[in-house]
Amino acid sequence: MDKRFFCIRGYMKSGTNWLGSLLGSHVDIDCVGEFHWQDHVGPINRALKSIPIYVENPETSKQFRNEFEDLTKRMLVFKADPNAKLIGDRTPHTIEPVVLRGVPHICIIRDGRDVLVSRAFHLYNRPESHRLFERFPELNKVYDRFRDDSWHFKNHPEQLLCNEPMVRESARWWREHLEADRAAVEKYPNLPVCFVKYEDLHADVKGERKKLFKFLGVKPSQAAKIDGCLKPGFSEERPNEFLRKGVVGDWKNYFTDQVKGWFREEAGEELKRQGYVNGNDW
């Protein structure tokens, strides 16, 4: 197969779509997704370590894993532009389980507070894709207000993150995602991994894209101009769209002191580790 591959990873609502578009602006690259191959490779890896026919026959185990990886690549080729030489699998998930072994992985990290706000809007916009309002029925009244008026949270920002369990859950999952990626880097020292901050892309999208192209081994000069949807953020907010706003620091519009406390308890130390804050006074 005359193709090369790479993976885009990151926590949901961290900018994987934008990152995929930026990299796909290169003449040799196409990014496709979301396949969520981890839903398959995780059980496969567990089976290879527990089912006798694989445990007792290393060659059989190796062949099975290779066949699955070949299938993955064939599907990526099937979905990608036929002219693409480098194909990216874009799925918002952790590095592990590793779907394509040995290929470059680009992981995008975004301030967990902005992720929380973006995820909250996503949950209100896509109720069919989750069970949030079943798990937290007290939010149904808020959802009804948003459904009737998509600008409801602009007028009542304190209501977006009014549910403590949802806030804590999102903050914890963001922290655990980043912890898992650090563990994966230590576990697989030979896996080529590059981390990029969403905020750095915003500040210098051309420069950061150039670094990523070099990491992938392609010439930056063969990329399209950064214009239109490739630019960071949107000129106008779209509260009921999948891609809503894309700005840095939007959390300040929605975090009450109470929400800050919940987030600090779940992921405050991770904010410090990532360099988003220096202490607890934010």
- The domain tally of the chain equals 2
**Residues linked to residue 106 through DSSP beta bridges, in sequence order:** 8, 194
Q: Across the chain, what does the average pLDDT equal?
A: 91
What pTM does this model have? 0.90
**Per-residue pLDDT reduced to its tens digit, 235-257:** 566 655 555 667 899 999 999 99
Residues 140 and 8 in one domain: no
Confidence band of 45 (pLDDT split at 50, 70, 90): confident
Look at residue 239 in the predicted model and tell me its pLDDT. Answer: 56
Residue with the larger pLDDT of the pair 106 and 224:
106
> Same domain for 9 and 133?
no
pLDDT of residue 107: 98
pLDDT of 184? 97
State whether 67 and 201 are in the same domain. yes
SS3 category, 181 = helix
Q: Which residues contact 275 (CB under 8 A, 6 or more apart)?
A: none
pLDDT band at 1; cut points 50, 70, 90 = low
Question: Does 184 reside within a domain?
Answer: no
Regarding whether 44 and 161 lie in a shared domain, the answer is no
What is the per-residue pLDDT for 124? Answer: 87
Q: Kindly state the greatest CA–CA separation across the chain.
A: 63
Contact 30, 24 (CB under 8 A): yes
Same domain, 11 and 136: no
Q: Is residue 183 part of a domain?
A: no
pLDDT at 206 over 90: yes
Under the banding of pLDDT at 50, 70 and 90, the label for residue 264 is: very high
Q: Quote the CA–CA distance of 12 and 16 in Å, as a whole number.
A: 8
- As a whole-number percent, the residues of the chain with pLDDT over 90 amount to 67
Residue 187 within any structural domain of the chain = no
Residue 177 forms part of a structural domain: no
Cα separation values, 16 from 24, 29, 74, 126, 256, Å? 12, 15, 22, 18, 28
Domain identity same for 224 and 100: yes
Alpha helix positions (H), the chain: 16-24, 38-50, 52-55, 58-79, 112-125, 132-135, 140-148, 152-155, 164-187, 198-203, 205-216, 257-273
Do 224 and 241 lie in one domain? The reply is no
Q: Examine the domain organization and report whether 242 and 154 are in the same domain.
A: yes
Domain that holds residue 248: 113-170+236-273
Q: What mean pLDDT do residues 114-143 have?
A: 85
Cα 72 from Cα 75, distance rounded (Å):
5
Say yes or no: 32 and 67 in one domain.
Answer: yes
What type of residue sits at position 235? S
Spatial distance between the Cα atoms of 107 and 152, rounded to a whole number of angstroms? 33
Residues 6+ apart with CB under 8 A from 117: 160, 161, 250, 251, 253, 254
* CATH code where residue 12 lies: 3.40.50.300
164 in a structural domain: yes
Considering the domain architecture, whether residues 203 and 258 belong to the same structural domain is answered as no
Average pLDDT over residues 127-140: 80
Instruction: Tell whether 50 and 79 lie within a shared domain.
Output: yes
pLDDT of res. 128? 74
Mean pLDDT over 162-174 rounds to 94
123 falls within a domain: yes
- pLDDT at residue 278, as a whole number: 92
160 and 256, same domain (yes or no): yes
Give pLDDT, residue 228.
Answer: 82
How many other C-beta atoms can be found within 10 angstroms of the C-beta atom of residue 152? Answer: 19
- Rounded Cα distance between 5 and 217, Å, is 11
Whether the CB-CB separation of 64 and 40 falls below 8 Å is answered with no
Residue at 66 is within a domain:
yes
Please tell me the predicted confidence (pLDDT) of residue 232: 75
- Assigned domain for 186 exists: no
Question: What pLDDT, in 10s, does the model give residues 60-109?
Answer: 988 988 999 999 999 999 999 999 999 999 999 999 999 999 999 999 99
Of 13-22, 86-95, 201-210, 228-237, the range with the lowest mean pLDDT is: 228-237
* pLDDT average, residue stretch 3-13: 96
B/e letters for 16-39, b = 16+ CB within 10 Å, e = fewer, are bbbbbebbbbbbbbbbbbebebbe
